[in-house]
Structure 1
Amino acid sequence: METGLTWQSYPPEKLLVERFHIPTGFHPGQRDIIEQLVHGKRILAIQRTAWGKSLCYQIASLYYPHLTIVFSPLKALMRDQCQRCNTMYAIPSAIVSSDFSEEENQATMEQVVAGNFKLLFIAPERLDNAGWQKYVIHMRISMIVIDEAHCISTWGHDFRPHYRRIVRLLSALPKNVPILALTATANKRVEQDVLQQIGEVTQVVRGTMQRPNLHLNVETLIGDQEKLSYLAEILPYYPGTGIIYTATKSSAEMLATFLIQRGINADYYHAGREDTVRQDIEQKLMSNQYKVVCSTNALGMGIDKPDVRFVIHYHIPASPIHYYQEMGRAGRDRKVSWCILLYDPTDVTIQEYFIRNARPEGKYYEMVLSLLRMNAQGLRESDLMLTTGLSQKATRNILADLEEQRFIEHNPKSRTYTAISRLGQMDFSAYDEVRLQKLQELSNIQNYVQCDTCYMEYLTTYLGDEPG
């Protein structure tokens, strides 16, 4: 494998053309980010979907002799990026994920330690894995990338507790190891929270969120009958392939079944389907074998398909940020595409339910803490799920909150949690504040539906652009 290139002999403009086959030059800001990374800086890049955020770390990694670790929340996204790096850009890359057996992941990490890869894609959840703990201390790390960095913030629209584990890794690295945090959806509050997590010395590079090739519209339709009739009428006239987002798994299944019965080539996608089935749907979507895929937000960020021609929301999303993220799947090739929100005021109750139930009730926190206090040797996440009957998501949220408030501590080697001797009660006020903020964001997406200004301007201003 090649060692790091030099800036003088191989400037980024040359790499862009010869290695990445892009003759049109960098977008404003891309080259500067690459140069800052090569000089060991920490960057938070807040740039719109399809701006080319991944290109920044892909090029920067070539100037370093050792490994770049890319933390990503979705396996589909990792598969796509890894394949591109290996087959199109000649960057030796690998994935460690639950798609592979422990033996396969172990073999990959042995090759990583041996220096056979430039890029390693991995989900933050793997940071708790004993195998990861065994090998990471032997990895020569040149750079860290945190994709979808808003997931590290409790104020973000897709907070994931395991993203906080990345902070521990960062604190153990030398200060001159460059860090690139990437997101397309961070308002000022999320931005400040991310900076607090990864370091205040981080430089923020914020670009415009405008997507001028997207045509946005809202259709007020009451009930499934009106929505289904509308879709059956308009879908045959839309060019290309698209995605219809639903708030629930059952709605995705119902909608796909309806469209198939109307002769429209469709399928449904959600986290409840088998991994192999989801991968098959992803591949067929990428090769335009469907007219439309009906999906929960599980499809979301995981598909890097440039020619999605339309994105339709069957239910109102949870916030303007959710909407911008999901509609942003459309028109990544910068060609004209359509984004339609089907608005039924009663659908708001679905999102209200999700927001109010995002965190378990206080009694479940007490149950988990009591179990840990009774088991001095510690318990694993799986032990707690089995004993309490809580879902993995609920258990992880409880453990993350208890750890944050220092009621428990985590042992990464044994992957167990143990109670810390301390007095006092859980402070739920911060979580109540987050819940109220989420309800306000739901109100803001209702304001979007009813706004009398440009829909795109409403969204981009909400995300931090200057009005006008």
Structure 2
Amino acid sequence: MPSPDPDDVADRAPGLAADGATDRATDLDPDLRAEALAALRELVGRDDAEFHDGQFEAIEALVAGRRRALVVQRTGWGKSAVYFVATLLLRRRGGGPTILVSPLLALMRDQVAAAERAGVRAVSINSANAHEWQEVLARLDADEVDVLLVSPERLNNPSFREQQLPSLVRRLGMLVVDEAHCISDWGHDFRPDYRRLRDLIAEIPAGVPVLATTATANSRVVADVAEQLGTDVLTIRGPLARSSLRLGVLRLPDSTGRLAWLIDHLDDLPGSGIVYALTVSAAVDTARVLRERGHDVRAYTGQTDPDEREESEGLLKRNEVKALIATSALGMGFDKPDLGFVVHLGAPLSPVAYYQQVGRAGRASENADVLLLPGREDPAIWHYFATASMPDEERARRVIDELSDVPLSTPALEARVDIRRTPLELLLKVLDVDGAVRRVQGGWVATGEPWSYDAERYRRIAEEREAEQRHMLEYEQTDGCRMAFLQRSLDDDTAAPCGRCDRCAGAWYPGEVDADAAAAAASALDRVGVPIEPRRAWPTGADRLGVPVKGRIPAGEQAGEGRALARLTDLGWGSTLRELFAPNAPDAPLPPRVLDACVRVLAEWGWAERPVAVASVPSRSHPQLVGSLARGLAEVGRLPYLGELAPVDGGPTGGPGGNSAFRLAGVWNRFSADGLDVPVGGVLLVDDLADSRWTLTVAARELRRSGATDVLPFALALRG
């Protein structure tokens, strides 16, 4: 959570309600409030600091009553002050260390720094500091740690779960679950690993206090989390209005218009801030274009190197960059109290998720600007994210059937089930929480416990996700106060007009875009050409599927580096390609403007040797599209078109998705170049969509074995 600076704890927002709060614990320790207030003032470094309404009630419940509490308060209210002060007081009374479950590395770094300023000895165990684990465990054994921060994933690490966690639970002074909405199926950021906390809470001895905190929970999530905490839970909820935020929504015709607006107006926004994008490629592309136009920005995504992410966070906190162009990887708990603005290129999938992200701004300032620039493609992206965490029954049973009481590693399991690594790992987590599988040293095992697919539960979750998406569109179109709309989305019955948003006070942002900025955006998004990296090694487990290969692909059978016009997720040509590859789009010859763009890719390629011929991959879904592209490139380049490789035994099997071994098995020995007059030299190999790259790899291998000295793959689109 954010460090509790003076603005976080000064009593600036009266009227906070403590639902169910009582004074029953006060008599147990009449001096508790004075002691807690002194700790708070030491924490924030201000002698005049006072508690927010609800802060002391939570501390009192934890320290004097040893109760379980759920705190739902706006970002910046000072939830971290509650658990740091409670930890100090519990430790003075002989309590053991606090375990703080925290979801993000960036959040952990901020929490450790805040604890140090408060005199709280805090350490973390996470994937980024494995080299420090032994030292951390030694300090725990010596009782030199007040707060241990762990990720929810760490709780299911076999060695941690079996060797360290039992002793920690026996000595536990308090358990804190940060961003507790992640526990709930109904929360906007549900995570399977968080559901294990219910089991951990059930193991905690009576009398050990438990605190759950969040800024983004509606009544349904609050009830779900409170139920998981146990009985006699004190729930403290306050109003969620953020008086410093000035909200607005600006509709622009397309991604070019949105990027042009940023080019033209980014420097007009106050201070430094965050520009959120929905996809990794959108964040990277936007950052690149803005830098080219002289803006000091950096990209920040889940694929960014951890050290670079930490460096970028520091630059933003010190106002040494104008903005980070980020995905949701920069989200919960990022601590910059004076963040001046948040802009969204495309909308999050619910008003609740939107409230969580915009809550990063204006925590310690009177004014901060929040602007949403929605896109037509938003619903398609929402659909993917809304369903990603829900298991498919057939896939789940396939995984369970492949496991036994002998541990199987994730890569080995991946070679047995046709599921890619990332969705497989997510599915295993869900099945682990359901009790069907268990992670142990060496991999995964089946528990043997009966498992049934809860179709009704997943149907209800899907319906809720769809309702949230409709609600987000209503936020964009509302005629009423935008802040009040967000409050009502979180079931805050204190919602009232804010007097500041574009609906209350009129548009505060410029709607026009300078012609030069529009031209620069159009030029940047017209950029073409994305490398297709060649496969260099066969996938593990291919031999189990009847493909007799392993290890490195022989150099004489490899494809060269290829090119695609663009990624499907790109801001520029991606939108055109998404229309061409839409599920209901008819197969037709390639539009001339797209062919012209492909010719530009070839012109800018910079290959060592020009190809001497063109061939194509037989396409099941887009034969006219691929054929017209291959013939068009051959004609423009004045190269012979050899034709398409012949499909063998019906051609490739399988579809998009799936893991490498299965994708390779689906195309192995399914192409033949016997009918083609393959020349000595390089061959340009044309396909429609590059996904796993195994189709291009196997087709290139066939051409190399038929005499081509090089094969240069070319695809219209690269997935991802």
> What's the TM-score once normalised by structure 2's chain length?
0.61
Write the distance in 2 (CA, Å) between the matches of 1:106 and 1:131.
Answer: 13
CA drift of 1:64 comes to: 1.6
Write the distance in 1 (CA, Å) between the matches of 2:485 and 2:191.
Answer: 27
Pairing partner for 2:60 from 35, 42, 53 = 35
Pairing partner for 2:79 from 28, 32, 53 = 53
Per the alignment, do residues 20 and 425 of structure 1 end up closer, same or farther by CA in structure 2, a change over 3 Å counting?
A: closer
**Is the contact made by 2:73 and 2:215 (CA closer than 8 Å) also made in structure 1?**
yes
**Is the contact made by 1:317 and 1:351 (CA closer than 8 Å) also made in structure 2?**
yes
Pairing partner for 2:35 from 11, 36, 54 = 11
1:450 is the counterpart of 2:502:
no
* Deviation string, structure 1 residues 325-370 (Cα, Å, up to 9, x no partner): 0011111114200100002334222212322444353332122011
Per the alignment, do residues 24 and 338 of structure 1 end up closer, same or farther by CA in structure 2, a change over 3 Å counting?
A: same
Write the distance in 1 (CA, Å) between the matches of 2:298 and 2:136.
Answer: 34
Letter in 2 for 1:8: D
Write the distance in 2 (CA, Å) between the matches of 1:27 and 1:391.
Answer: 48
Per the alignment, do residues 20 and 302 of structure 1 end up closer, same or farther by CA in structure 2, a change over 3 Å counting?
A: closer
Q: Secondary structure at the match of 1:348?
A: helix
* Deviation string, structure 1 residues 283-334 (Cα, Å, up to 9, x no partner): 1111111101100000011411111100001001100011000011111114
- Which segment drifts farther, 351-360 or 327-336? 351-360
Q: Secondary structure at the match of 2:340?
A: strand
- Which segment drifts farther, 337-346 or 440-449? 337-346
Letter in 1 for 2:271: G
Aligned match of 1:428: 455
Letter in 2 for 1:69: I
Write the distance in 1 (CA, Å) between the matches of 2:329 and 2:252.
Answer: 25
**Is the contact made by 2:340 and 2:368 (CA closer than 8 Å) also made in structure 1?**
yes
CA drift of 1:436 comes to: 1.6
1:286 is the counterpart of 2:313:
no
Would you say how many aligned residue pairs link Structure 1 and Structure 2? 457
CA drift of 1:173 comes to: 1.4
- List aligned pairs for 1:290-309, cutoff 5 A: 290-309=321-340
Q: Secondary structure at the match of 2:44?
A: coil
Write the distance in 1 (CA, Å) between the matches of 2:205 and 2:191.
Answer: 25
CA drift of 1:429 comes to: 2.4
- List aligned pairs for 1:356-395, cutoff 5 A: 356-372=387-403, 375-381=404-410, 383-385=412-414, 387-388=416-417, 390-391=419-420, 393-395=422-424
Pairing partner for 1:277 from 308, 316, 329 = 308
Aligned match of 1:79: 109
- List aligned pairs for 1:399-414, cutoff 5 A: 399-403=428-432, 405-406=434-435, 408-410=436-438
Write the distance in 2 (CA, Å) between the matches of 1:67 and 1:414.
Answer: 30
Unmatched segments (≥5 aa) in structure 2? 1-28, 497-720
- Which segment drifts farther, 144-153 or 58-67? 58-67
Write the distance in 1 (CA, Å) between the matches of 2:253 and 2:205.
Answer: 57
CA drift of 1:398 comes to: 2.2
Write the distance in 2 (CA, Å) between the matches of 1:196 and 1:380.
Answer: 35
Write the distance in 1 (CA, Å) between the matches of 2:449 and 2:230.
Answer: 30
Write the distance in 1 (CA, Å) between the matches of 2:392 and 2:69.
Answer: 37
Aligned match of 1:111: 139
- List aligned pairs for 1:179-258, cutoff 5 A: 179-258=210-289
Letter in 2 for 1:420: G
Aligned match of 2:595: none
Aligned match of 1:318: 349
* Deviation string, structure 1 residues 361-406 (Cα, Å, up to 9, x no partner): 333212201111xx33243555434544645552344234434555
- Which segment drifts farther, 426-435 or 238-247? 426-435
Per the alignment, do residues 392 and 28 of structure 1 end up closer, same or farther by CA in structure 2, a change over 3 Å counting?
A: farther
Letter in 1 for 2:454: D
Write the distance in 1 (CA, Å) between the matches of 2:111 and 2:483.
Answer: 28
Write the distance in 1 (CA, Å) between the matches of 2:87 and 2:449.
Answer: 44
Per the alignment, do residues 436 and 363 of structure 1 end up closer, same or farther by CA in structure 2, a change over 3 Å counting?
A: same
Letter in 2 for 1:89: A
CA drift of 1:240 comes to: 0.8
- Which segment drifts farther, 69-78 or 386-395? 386-395
Kindly report structure 1 stretches of 4+ aligned residues shifted beyond 6 Å: none
Letter in 2 for 1:179: V
Identity %: 34
Write the distance in 2 (CA, Å) between the matches of 1:404 and 1:138.
Answer: 22
**Is the contact made by 1:130 and 1:415 (CA closer than 8 Å) also made in structure 2?**
no
- Which segment drifts farther, 160-169 or 149-158? 160-169
**Is the contact made by 2:99 and 2:174 (CA closer than 8 Å) also made in structure 1?**
yes
**Is the contact made by 1:369 and 1:419 (CA closer than 8 Å) also made in structure 2?**
no
CA drift of 1:235 comes to: 1.1
**Is the contact made by 1:244 and 1:293 (CA closer than 8 Å) also made in structure 2?**
yes
* Deviation string, structure 1 residues 202-257 (Cα, Å, up to 9, x no partner): 11111111001100000001211111111122111112101010100000011111
Letter in 1 for 2:80: S
Write the distance in 1 (CA, Å) between the matches of 2:73 and 2:258.
Answer: 33
Q: Secondary structure at the match of 1:63?
A: helix
Write the distance in 2 (CA, Å) between the matches of 1:186 and 1:335.
Answer: 25
Q: Secondary structure at the match of 1:215?
A: strand
Per the alignment, do residues 392 and 96 of structure 1 end up closer, same or farther by CA in structure 2, a change over 3 Å counting?
A: farther
**Is the contact made by 1:405 and 1:426 (CA closer than 8 Å) also made in structure 2?**
no
CA drift of 1:419 comes to: 4.0
RMSD: 2.0
**Is the contact made by 2:350 and 2:468 (CA closer than 8 Å) also made in structure 1?**
yes
Per the alignment, do residues 7 and 416 of structure 1 end up closer, same or farther by CA in structure 2, a change over 3 Å counting?
A: farther
Q: Secondary structure at the match of 2:248?
A: strand
Per the alignment, do residues 463 and 73 of structure 1 end up closer, same or farther by CA in structure 2, a change over 3 Å counting?
A: same
Write the distance in 1 (CA, Å) between the matches of 2:449 and 2:82.
Answer: 46
Write the distance in 1 (CA, Å) between the matches of 2:433 and 2:68.
Answer: 24
Per the alignment, do residues 130 and 15 of structure 1 end up closer, same or farther by CA in structure 2, a change over 3 Å counting?
A: same
Per the alignment, do residues 366 and 138 of structure 1 end up closer, same or farther by CA in structure 2, a change over 3 Å counting?
A: closer
Pairing partner for 1:462 from 478, 489, 507 = 489
Per the alignment, do residues 386 and 329 of structure 1 end up closer, same or farther by CA in structure 2, a change over 3 Å counting?
A: farther
**Is the contact made by 2:428 and 2:437 (CA closer than 8 Å) also made in structure 1?**
no
CA drift of 1:265 comes to: 0.3
Aligned match of 1:99: 128
1:159 is the counterpart of 2:190:
yes
Write the distance in 2 (CA, Å) between the matches of 1:298 and 1:319.
Answer: 17
**Is the contact made by 1:265 and 1:292 (CA closer than 8 Å) also made in structure 2?**
yes
Letter in 2 for 1:416: W
Aligned match of 1:333: 364
Write the distance in 2 (CA, Å) between the matches of 1:19 and 1:253.
Answer: 38
Q: Secondary structure at the match of 2:370?
A: strand
1:266 is the counterpart of 2:297:
yes
CA drift of 1:417 comes to: 2.9
Aligned match of 1:3: none
